[in-house]
Chain A
Amino acid sequence: MSVRQWAADLGLGIRFAFTGGREGWTRALLTAVGVGLGVALLLLTTAIPNALDVRHEREAARSDITFALDPMPKAKDTLVIARVDAYFRDDDVRGRAMEPEGPRAPLPPGVEKFPAVGEMVVSPALKELLESDSGALLRERLPDRIIGTIAEEGLIGSAELAFYRGGEGLAEKITPGRIERIDRFGDPQPGEEQSDPVLLLLVLVVFVVLLMPVAVFIAAAVRFGGERRDRRLAALRLVGSDSRMTRRIAAGEALAGAVLGLVFGAGFFMVGRQLAGNAEVYRISVFPSYLNPSPLLALLVAVAVPAAAVLVTLFALRGVVIEPLGVVRAGRPPRRRLWWRLLLPLAGLAMLYPMIGDGRENGDFNQYLVTGGVVLLLVGVTALLPWIVERVVARLGSGSVAWQLAVRRLQMSSGTAARMVNGIAVAVAGAIALQMLFAGVDDDYTKSTGQDVSRAQMEATLSSGVPMAAAAEKFRDTEGVKAVYAFSEGYLGDRAQEPEHGTTITVGDCASLREIAGLPSCADGDVFAVHGAEWDTGEDMTKLAAPGRKLYADPSYEGGPKRHEVPWTVPQDIKAAKPREGLAAGTDRGGFLITPKAVPDALAPALDGHAYLKLDRSVPDVQDLVRNTASAIDPLASTVTWAETERAERFDAIRTGLFVGAACVLALIGASLLVSQLEQLRERKKLLSALVAFGTRRRTLSLSVLWQTAIPIVLGLLLASAVGLTLGTVLLKMTGTPVRVDWVGVLSMTGIGAAVVLAVTLCSLPPLLRLMRPEGLRTE
């Protein structure tokens, strides 16, 4: 066989793919759109690691944390930068106040010049928000004049809300981690992020679970129009093609569809890339430029998809005899064998088995074994399902006409039916396993904050020196605030510098102090010493609380900046108080509690203000009203909304990624199902019309289509549940987590799978009814 002959046959196939009038084009387009959607999803997946890298790099490039023990001296190239992050509704707003100290002060990435006091540069998304009506509340907090926008290199996503504003007097307030002096932007200690093996395992499994159905989908898409193509091949046999030639021609047709699909896929990807720039999914946005697929992976997609298309076509033609006078599907296909189908999932389990019990401590899971094992288990679903469908439908008896029509059709071509639900079954199996894994390790990534949300729902931290009584009054006047517990807090040492013993000092009115300690009695002017609190050694407090002892608020430490070092004498009439579970962080508070009248004026600058607020959540935007008040009291104020638990950000990001990906994959599979369903119906147009002609009720035919889809999907979902639970159990054992079946997750995943199929069946009913029209009998 000459290469020329091969090329000629493939070329003929490629021509056939695009000829045949409107129908030929429609078929080619359907295949190309199907393959294209799959390719676009693959390209997107190959682009995700790059996008995450770019986000990480940009985040590092604008980092303004020094981690320096010694404060940097003021110089011509230094800048004092303060974190003035904000929240608006549920969105984070990254904010920085900047005060350049010399002409060579570093500019942050994406900013062309320093904003003066009263000015700011903002991200495009924040600009849009501030200019819109919905951003009015935020505008109150950020009233500065906008003099420019932050360019792409200064942002980690197109929808990121960020601003830099001019600041003054920041140098006096330098506090490590909050207000710092820097001479450059960028991560001072770049290094590899330590990866959590369980998170890595989750990422690997999420990728495999999402990509497997895409592969199944592409395999289904290249088979669109298969029956008509077979008839065309029979016509070619009539004019002299031998069976090998016809197979090569078929391969050429598939190749053409796949290559056109690649082009479509690249197009879809480019369009999707642009659209991605405008989208924000679960608070993560990217710029289109981030989504550049790795060249090697893109090349792999470009080679693998056409190759897979040809292989799938040749595989599909195995059981088909193309004779000159027509296509003969090998009457009764040979019985499917179970042994090799079982080998796949067993091999998958064997690959995962060595990692069982590795857990988090020893859990440097082998990426290749994990990927290989999960792939084999899921491929096992696609291998086992045709066998199960064949065996089960062979045993189904006759019932109503609709049932009989469906069962007989399934008995005749159980492979087609199994292929149709393969994608859903794989997706559901993977999703069940992941759901179990997520539910199992959820506790590890969700920790209690200790915040008592029944007593307060927000906390505002104000700069030192801000008068708290006035601040508390302003918070009380804010709409939606039901109660305010305001404290000024600081630290007392036994010496002005390098204290040996120390404790906390908390200033508040009697009502507020009662929230944090058990007081025998209280009047303004009282001072209390709390003994026996969680972090109190007892010895320290006893020594420090001796009446008449001189202590120092805000002492200085070696290597740190000089602090306020305000002297304070323990009063003679100090009272004892009992610790009580505090408002914040689950700790009971020790140290000194002082009512406002007992606080000397000199102490005020040494204390930071904290206000704990009880809110009326029914008031719209109550949190932003509070944030606005806090900002009006102190531009450097920060507010935190309390929650009982907090979750690791990366865990949430992976979980979010899974849901987004699963939604895309299910939509894709649904579309593929619909196309193949419609194609099957079109192939049977004449038969349907004939059945209607001799009086078959439309309801009977519609029901038969429903049964025809429902039987394999039920079997597919049962198998998917079994494989998903097995995989989930193995993954949980690998992470050393107790196995617990999340039945709600299993049911919801199978429910979603079933809903997709039901939706597809419902969508195919109108075309079915149209195809049943008697006009289908016309031949001229």
Chain B
Amino acid sequence: MTPPAGSLLSAEHLRKAYGPTLALDGAEFSIHPGEVVAVMGPSGSGKSTLLHCLAGIVTPDSGTILYAGRELSAMSDAERSALRRSDFGFVFQFGQLVPELTCVENVALPLRLNGTSRKEAERAALGWMERLEVDDLRKKRPGEVSGGQGQRVAVARSLVTDPRVLFADEPTGALDSLNGERVMELLTDAARSTNAAVVLVTHEARVAAYSDREIVVRDGRSRDMERVV
């Protein structure tokens, strides 16, 4: 497979089935460093599965995924986990913050998993929390903060390792429009400032508007919007 020139992460002919349900049926994808790509489509179209495959969370049944020139499916589970810890960041629809850790501990968690000391990890975490305007929540637990605040903490957590690719799965799905827009502004600004690529799964055009490019997934197949238009 020849990836599109300069692409950081690319995929071709991805197929993935969950039992009798075909989630991906020949999907393709590519993203460049610093680029924000929105993956759109109706519910059940395979958007999240595409994201999970691209991030190495799920292994596709067939097809290839290249990240920085390395074949993802050729890596072991441990190698893919290490890659996710070091190079990728994640934001999900519901923040998926660990409820028993404080906000700063949640943000510091990916660094700690990488072996960074607690003090250093929390210092870096606090820096990101300041950038995302949630530093005042550092001692609070996720259950004590609002949905929008929690999602900003999750964005800080996804960026704390300076990832090269940020995967965001419906990051504003549980937020009102005002909060959703603020989260998107902060997320895309932060990503652009670190030249991180962002794979943004959404079904909202309003959210997709923050992207540089849109891809539509329907019945497990992906198509570039520009080609559709």
Q: Which residues of A approach B to under 8 Å, CB–CB?
A: 328-329, 331, 398, 401, 404-405, 408-409, 411-413, 686-687, 690-697, 700, 774-775, 777-780
Q: Which residues of A contact B128 (CB under 8 A)?
A: none
Known A-B contacts A686-B96, A778-B48; A694 and B85 likewise in contact (beta carbons under 8 Å): yes
**Of B50-58, B177-185, B192-200, the one with at least 4 CB within 8 A of chain A:** B50-58
Give the contacting residue for A694; candidates B48, B84, B118; CB below 8 A.
B84
In the complex the two chains form, is A774's CB within 8 Å of B57's CB?
Answer: yes
In the complex the two chains form, is A693's CB within 8 Å of B98's CB?
Answer: no
Q: Which residues of A contact B214 (CB under 8 A)?
A: none
Give the contacting residue for A405; candidates B92, B98, B158; CB below 8 A.
B98
In the complex the two chains form, is B18's CB within 8 Å of A694's CB?
Answer: no
In the bound assembly, the distance between CA atoms of A690 and B167 in angstroms comes to: 12
Give the contacting residue for A774; candidates B52, B100, B109; CB below 8 A.
B52
Closest 4 CB pairs of A and B: A695-B85, A690-B96, A695-B84, A774-B57
Q: Which residues of A contact B109 (CB under 8 A)?
A: 401
| Residue in chain B with minimal CB distance to A413 | B100
Q: Which residues of A contact B143 (CB under 8 A)?
A: 328-329, 331
Give the contacting residue for A693; candidates B49, B90, B102; CB below 8 A.
B90
B127 at the interface (CB under 8 A from A): no
Q: Chain B 72-102, CB within 8 Å of chain A: the 1/0 string?
A: 0000000001111110111011101011111
Q: Which residues of B contact A778 (CB under 8 A)?
A: 18, 48-49
In the complex the two chains form, is A404's CB within 8 Å of B105's CB?
Answer: yes
Q: Which residues of B contact A328 (CB under 8 A)?
A: 143
Chain B stretch 8-66: residues in CB contact (< 8 A) with chain A: 18, 43-44, 48-49, 52, 55, 57-58
B171 at the interface (CB under 8 A from A): no
In the complex the two chains form, is A687's CB within 8 Å of B113's CB?
Answer: no
In the complex the two chains form, is B113's CB within 8 Å of A697's CB?
Answer: yes
| Residue in chain B with minimal CB distance to A397 | B118
The size bracket of the interface on B is 35 or more
In the complex the two chains form, is B112's CB within 8 Å of A401's CB?
Answer: yes
**B147, chain A: closest CB distance, angstroms:** 10
**A648, chain B: closest CB distance, angstroms:** 54
Known A-B contacts A412-B99, A412-B141, A694-B84; A700 and B113 likewise in contact (beta carbons under 8 Å): yes
| Residue in chain A with minimal CB distance to B112 | A401
In the bound assembly, the distance between CA atoms of A408 and B97 in angstroms comes to: 13
In the bound assembly, the distance between CA atoms of A404 and B81 in angstroms comes to: 20
In the bound assembly, the distance between CA atoms of A57 and B187 in angstroms comes to: 83
In the complex the two chains form, is A694's CB within 8 Å of B105's CB?
Answer: no
In the complex the two chains form, is B100's CB within 8 Å of A411's CB?
Answer: yes
In the bound assembly, the distance between CA atoms of A732 and B18 in angstroms comes to: 65
In the bound assembly, the distance between CA atoms of A546 and B196 in angstroms comes to: 121
Q: What are some 20 contacts across the A-B interface (CB < 8 A)? A: A331-B143, A401-B109, A405-B101, A408-B98, A408-B100, A408-B101, A691-B96, A692-B57, A694-B110, A695-B82, A695-B86, A695-B110, A695-B113, A696-B81, A697-B81, A700-B113, A774-B57, A777-B92, A777-B169, A780-B44
In the bound assembly, the distance between CA atoms of A413 and B99 in angstroms comes to: 11
In the complex the two chains form, is A408's CB within 8 Å of B58's CB?
Answer: no
Give the contacting residue for A409; candidates B58, B81, B100, B144; CB below 8 A.
B100
**B80, chain A: closest CB distance, angstroms:** 9
In the bound assembly, the distance between CA atoms of A686 and B89 in angstroms comes to: 17
In the bound assembly, the distance between CA atoms of A405 and B99 in angstroms comes to: 10
In the complex the two chains form, is B81's CB within 8 Å of A691's CB?
Answer: no
**A147, chain B: closest CB distance, angstroms:** 66
In the complex the two chains form, is A687's CB within 8 Å of B96's CB?
Answer: yes
Q: Which residues of B contact A329 (CB under 8 A)?
A: 143
In the bound assembly, the distance between CA atoms of A404 and B100 in angstroms comes to: 10
| Residue in chain A with minimal CB distance to B93 | A779
Give the contacting residue for A404; candidates B83, B93, B101, B110; CB below 8 A.
B101
Q: Chain B 132-147, CB within 8 Å of chain A: the 1/0 string?
A: 0000000001011000
In the complex the two chains form, is B88's CB within 8 Å of A694's CB?
Answer: yes
Q: Which residues of A contact B141 (CB under 8 A)?
A: 331, 412
In the bound assembly, the distance between CA atoms of A693 and B92 in angstroms comes to: 10
In the bound assembly, the distance between CA atoms of A687 and B100 in angstroms comes to: 12
In the bound assembly, the distance between CA atoms of A328 and B96 in angstroms comes to: 17
Q: Which residues of A contact B85 (CB under 8 A)?
A: 694-696
Residue in A328, A398, A694 with the greatest tally of chain B CB atoms within 10 Å: A694
**A53, chain B: closest CB distance, angstroms:** 54
Give the contacting residue for B52; candidates A411, A687, A777; CB below 8 A.
A777
In the complex the two chains form, is B110's CB within 8 Å of A331's CB?
Answer: no
In the bound assembly, the distance between CA atoms of A779 and B18 in angstroms comes to: 13
| Residue in chain A with minimal CB distance to B99 | A412
In the bound assembly, the distance between CA atoms of A411 and B52 in angstroms comes to: 33
In the bound assembly, the distance between CA atoms of A774 and B92 in angstroms comes to: 13
| Residue in chain B with minimal CB distance to A687 | B96
In the bound assembly, the distance between CA atoms of A607 and B39 in angstroms comes to: 107
In the bound assembly, the distance between CA atoms of A404 and B143 in angstroms comes to: 18
In the bound assembly, the distance between CA atoms of A405 and B57 in angstroms comes to: 22
In the complex the two chains form, is B89's CB within 8 Å of A694's CB?
Answer: yes
Q: Which residues of A contact B55 (CB under 8 A)?
A: 693
**A67, chain B: closest CB distance, angstroms:** 73
Chain B stretch 127-169: residues in CB contact (< 8 A) with chain A: 141, 143-144, 158, 169
